[in-house]
Structure 1
């Protein structure tokens, strides 16, 4: 039931299909993604995941193949995941500011000893913003500087120097107390380095699937069905893209940047089984890895999700979880189906770990969905 650890090549996670290693989001040329896919084929089981935050996971590794995987993963792939930027950072036509310089300063000066999964978001704005992503600290580009947020509170706005100093003060407090929540005293001290400012205006949830205008050219986002990608599919997509770079994006999406023929690549992606339409029914279902790939799962989530996706109506949402951890969708969902020792559990408007309303046989799941979603009509 532990969800605090973050697996890596140096400290992989034991799962049902071997060892799992996660690499943070990275904007790299297609050749680097082909090399990553080759690593998955030679050192793992040929399967990769793009997570809800755009990280990439190699699956099916073993103690004997970890060194091989380390040697095959492109060396330019970043290993640290503390600081995360917008998926189209520095390239989006509509972003307020390029977050790369500030993000690099924070990553270079961050103190040692931060808790696992501590996260700082540096959000340049634009259509593919990070407003929907959870973080311990958040820096959001404004016309007059960078707005610093801590948890649910906004501390103030300042230029890059002031915002960086305030954020590093909070990170030092987090490292000193081994917590992901800075103390009230540290927040007050950080706020003194900034000017008071109102919270940012609400923005629509970003949709990464589709075309996105860049300062030079366009980007195409394609979805992965339930986050899973075969290495051969990744190789075919990367080689067909002729893109300047590829990147994983929040929502289990793969972005191709500066694509010379977006219409042709979209057709190729569809032929490969990738999601090219944001209204695809599979986008209305969140499903974790499930059994047998995950040792905690009590349910073959992906098979059930694929079978039920056509029955989830527009505006509906279904979470299929192999166990009560709810890794694929930690927030409440309109309807959750969860694997339990007693069988398939149904949860209304809750998380996978909430109280099960009742249990049902998998063959009755489609009828149950029809009844539940009909109540919303």
Structure 2
């Protein structure tokens, strides 16, 4: 029996809470096992999307999720169905493993990006490959080419932002950013990852580089769209670089340094991205430009859609001659070169195609419908409240104080508690509520905020 056949009958060992679910180590949740799929290049064919949706129906609860980082996620798997799903899906599409390196889904295909981040990403992946078993599953690198899709909302241990074709702004943990050329940026990233590996799987970059200036402002990231103008940032002197611990087995007395080889450079004059992923939640443009045409965003309401809707999308895309569907951050799919008729059809399936749709300004976890920690049916409540959300406001509905769907502050946060719902204004789900509500009081609470504006 070959390895693949063996994997069908193997017992799946669920990952522990707090770890990252994968295809081979799904996580136990309130509605069964949850598996997450990282797709190389963030691209699927319509046929591959159809396969994923079909397997979600056959092996899970029929729902497919696109995460905030643009990964695929399936829920409701069982000990029996999870190995079958893993073996079957690998026949349809490749699955990425190892260090998480996030790029824009338009990387290398964005006429507005300052630099193509793919060569940098490949060098980092190759250099970090020997560390894969030593790094924690949540360690991540974000490489932003400064194109049409900002990656500022994604949390990262190491963040690289293109300032020029060979000029990158590098942020390590909570430290202030430094400007480096590409070889130095690669060496710095790999040195940091080596140090994290030496500290063990629970280490994060903030352990090496804590916030250098608590409460410092978080400027807006660069947006290369029409009418964008550079904004001069406050003076940011380069802080001394903390020494990194040597890797086990490294040269005696040696410790990698993270100081750029040419010394500190003057602070850049572009707006800097947030260091911890606290970027603005900006709506997509109705279309984005690519080197070969355009691509249209389709957002999944609250990050999930029935597999039947995705099958219908895949079939309609195939009939229209589309070859590429991209997975994008913020629970979004991108349809390359879709016609207006196709977009009208898929909007009828329930996808969000209007950037002004209020559901785009609502974050919600699955809540009590699929999580043992959830006290409220967060997505059902979110869907009911979205039409009442005041313009320009962001609502976060969280099943519990962990706030998984939106760890950052929101204008209004509703957090599930035993037998009640907490209301937090301008804060996070874990903050002390300013008021306690029941479901009947939720719409009046939002309406009161509208009247007060």
TM-score bracket for this pair, using the shorter chain length = over 0.9
Partner-residue secondary structure (3-state), 2:271: coil
Judged with a 3 Å threshold, the aligned counterparts in structure 2 of structure 1 residues 159 and 95 are, in CA distance, closer, same or farther, namely same
**Is the aligned partner of 1:229 residue 2:287?**
no
Judged with a 3 Å threshold, the aligned counterparts in structure 2 of structure 1 residues 81 and 248 are, in CA distance, closer, same or farther, namely farther
**Is the aligned partner of 1:102 residue 2:170?**
no
Judged with a 3 Å threshold, the aligned counterparts in structure 2 of structure 1 residues 353 and 291 are, in CA distance, closer, same or farther, namely same
Q: Which moved more, 1:212-221 or 1:344-353?
A: 344-353
**Is the aligned partner of 1:42 residue 2:58?**
yes
Structure 2 gap ranges (5+): 1-15, 210-241, 246-255, 274-279
Judged with a 3 Å threshold, the aligned counterparts in structure 2 of structure 1 residues 205 and 287 are, in CA distance, closer, same or farther, namely closer
1:2-41 to 2 correspondence within 5 Å? 4-24=18-38, 26-41=42-57
Deviation string for 1:327-359 (max 9, x for gaps)?
A: 111111111111101411211211111112222
Q: 2:204 aligns with which of 166, 171, 180?
A: 180
State the Cα RMSD in Å.
2.1
Structure 1 residue 159, shift from structure 2 partner: 3.6
Structure 1 residue 69, shift from structure 2 partner: 0.8
Deviation string for 1:85-131 (max 9, x for gaps)?
A: 11211111111121112111211221231122101011111111212
Judged with a 3 Å threshold, the aligned counterparts in structure 2 of structure 1 residues 79 and 265 are, in CA distance, closer, same or farther, namely farther
Q: Distance in 2 between matches of 1:16 and 1:209?
A: 36
Q: 1:83 aligns with which of 81, 94, 101?
A: 101
Aligned residues of 2:99 and 2:125 also touching (Cα < 8 A): no
Q: Distance in 2 between matches of 1:368 and 1:234?
A: 35
1:122-271 to 2 correspondence within 5 Å? 122-143=143-164, 144-178=166-200, 179-181=203-205, 182=208, 184-186=242-244, 189-193=257-261, 196-197=264-265, 198-199=267-268, 200-202=270-272, 206-208=282-284, 210-241=286-317, 242-257=321-336, 259=337, 261-271=338-348
Q: Distance in 2 between matches of 1:358 and 1:81?
A: 42
Deviation string for 1:114-163 (max 9, x for gaps)?
A: 12210101111111121232211012222242322212434533443322
Q: Distance in 1 between matches of 2:158 and 2:18?
A: 17
TM-score, structure 2 length as denominator? Answer: 0.78
The alignment covers a number of residue pairs equal to: 373
Aligned residues of 1:7 and 1:22 also touching (Cα < 8 A): yes
Structure 1 gap ranges (5+): none
